[in-house]
Amino acid sequence: MPSAVGDVLSVLVPSLVVAAAGTWLLARLAPRLGAVAKVKPDRWHATGDVPRLAGPAMLAAAAPWLPLGPLAVLAAVCALGSLDDMRPLSPRLKALGLLAAGLAGAWVSGEWWVCPALWLVANAVNLLDHADGIAAAAAAAAFIGLGGDAGWAAAGACAGFLLFNYPPARVFMGDSGSLTLGAMAVLIGAGGDGGGLATLAWCAVPLADAVAVTLRRLWRGQKPWIGGVDHSGHALLRAGIPRRLLPPLYFGAVVAVGELASAWS
């Protein structure tokens, strides 16, 4: 047991430190690049301009434990998200970019299901990033559940970012972070023993939120990709749940669903 704990810490701690340092650095660089989230009526935050370019820091933190093929795919996804953080891209262009990344992910992993899963999960994590700390906490739980050195490294990257994103957030992950974390979960799952069903089970919470929001907006005649304050986290905040409790709540939900699915399988 001590050896196992030491092995985990030898991965978790370095990735946490690199992610924290990278997030701190990018937060200071982001305003010069235009990667800043401004207050908008269809967004929850109302604290002024917030830096939103954390994806490269989290990817760099996990990179030493990722195989070269998946790392190249994730670098492309991160570049796509970073461009959107600096100069918003059209929804169609982002969708096509993620589709190309999904095809590349399926090729490097040898698993056909990676293509649709990467597209779906990356978009789902992007939608889950609607309140401070939620997306990073949910992703960290999923990475721990998926396991392996890559999973622990990715969880450490999320923890390092959460030092700045835990409510009240001083930094947002942006599309560079949310799209990368979603794609990373799928590619780590593809390299593990659980396969597609296990990967989707550990990503079920963001997927459920995305499905619910999409159906609700379609019912109202709205475009699903247009932002709004109708996510699960927003509902919990309006119900009186303290915002500092949301990240551990989502972390626990991901663990509960993932463990139940594992027990059932």
User: Given its phi and psi angles, is residue 195 left (phi above 0), alpha (psi -120 to 50 degrees) or beta?
Assistant: left
Q: What pLDDT does residue 118 have?
A: 98
Among all chains, which residue has been given the structure tokens 């463990």?
Answer: 259
**Could you tell me the two tokens for 161?**
């970012």
Question: Could you tell me if 62 and 15 are in contact, meaning their C-beta atoms sit under 8 angstroms apart?
Answer: yes
The pLDDT tens digits along the chain (265 residues) read 445 788 888 999 999 999 999 999 999 999 999 999 875 555 555 566 899 999 999 999 999 999 999 999 999 999 999 999 999 899 999 999 999 999 999 999 999 999 999 999 999 999 999 889 999 999 999 999 998 999 999 999 999 999 999 999 999 999 999 999 999 999 999 998 878 899 999 999 999 999 998 888 888 887 777 777 778 888 898 899 999 999 999 999 999 999 998 778 6
**pLDDT at residue 222, rounded to an integer:** 78
Paired residues of 37 in beta bridges: 50
Q: Amino acid identity, residue 256?
A: A
48, amino acid identity: G
Whose tokens are 């650095």? That residue is 25
Helix (H, G, I), strand (E, B) or coil at 37: strand
Q: DSSP letters along 104-166, please?
A: HHHHHHT-TTHHHHHHHHHHHHHHHTTSTTHHHHHHHHHHHHH-HHHHHHHHHHHHHHHHHHS
pLDDT of residue 166: 96
Note the pLDDT of residue 48.
65
Q: Report helix, strand or coil for 203.
A: coil
Taking the alpha carbons of 82, 86, 87, 90 in that order, is the dihedral positive or negative? positive
